[in-house]
Amino acid sequence: MKLNNTTFSENLSQVYDSCTTQEYYNMFPNSILFYAQQEINIKGSKVFDIGCGNGNLSAAMGILGASYVLGLDISESQIEIAKAKHPYRNIEFVVDDAYTVKQQPYGPFDLVTCMYSFHFIPNVDVLKAAFQNIYKNLKEGGTLVFLDITHDYKYSKAKMEQLKSLTSYCYKPNVAEGEIPKLWDLVPGYVTLPNKQLLVDHFAIHGEQLKETMLEIGFRSVERKPFVFHDLKMVDFFGPDGFNHHLFVVKK
Ligand X SMILES: C[S@@+](CC[C@H](N)C(=O)[O-])C[C@H]1O[C@@H](n2cnc3c(N)ncnc32)[C@H](O)[C@@H]1O
98 binds ligand X (CB under 6 A): yes
| 8 belongs to the binding site for ligand X (CB under 6 A) | yes
Residue 16 CA: distances (Å) to CA of 22, 25, 55, 72, 146? 10, 11, 11, 16, 19
Kind and range of the H or E element at 95? strand 91-95
Write the binding mask 135 to 164 for ligand X: x where contact by CB under 6 A, - elsewhere: ------------------------------
* 116 near ligand X, rule: CB under 6 A: yes
For the bound state, the minimum distance from the C-beta of residue 177 to ligand X, rounded and expressed in Å, comes to 27
What single-letter amino acid sits at 174?
A: N
Binding test (CB under 6 A) with ligand X, winner from 7, 11, 14, 90:
7
Q: Which of 5, 31, 45, 117 binds ligand X (CB under 6 A)?
A: 117
Query: Please, what's the largest Cα pairwise distance for the chain?
Result: 51
**Beta pairing class for 109-115 and 189-192:** unpaired
What is the rounded end-to-end Cα distance, in angstroms, of the chain? 33
Stretch that binds ligand X, among 33-41, 97-105, 201-209, 232-240 (CB under 6 A): 97-105
Q: Which of 53, 62, 181, 189 binds ligand X (CB under 6 A)?
A: 53
Q: Does 201 bind ligand X (CB under 6 A)?
A: no
Calpha distance 8→10 (Å, rounded): 6
Smallest separation (angstroms) from ligand X to the CB of 178? 27
Nearer to ligand X, 2 or 140 (CB): 2
Per CB under 6 A, does 67 bind ligand X?
no
Given the complex with ligand X, which of 221 and 234 has the nearer CB atom?
234
- Please select the residue that binds ligand X; options are 35, 36, 51, 69, rule is CB under 6 A: 51
Site for ligand X contains 75 (CB under 6 A): yes
Distance CA 47, CA 114 (A): 11
Residue at 16: amino acid letter: Y
| Rounded Cα distance, 19 and 244, in Å | 19
If one asks whether residue 244 binds ligand X (CB under 6 A), the answer comes out as no
Task: Check binding of 73 to ligand X (CB under 6 A).
Answer: yes
Residues with Cβ within 8 Å of residue 131, at least 6 apart in sequence: 213, 214, 217, 219
Least distance in Å: CB of 16 to ligand X?
5
Q: Give the ranges where the chain is alpha helix by DSSP (H).
A: 12-19, 27-39, 56-63, 76-85, 124-137, 157-167, 207-216, 232-238
- Nearer to ligand X by Cβ, of 70 and 232: the residue is 70
3-state secondary structure of 35: helix
Among 76, 97, 179, 236, binds ligand X (CB under 6 A): 97
Q: Interface residues with ligand X (CB under 6 A)?
A: 7-8, 16, 20, 51-53, 72-75, 78, 97-99, 115-117, 120
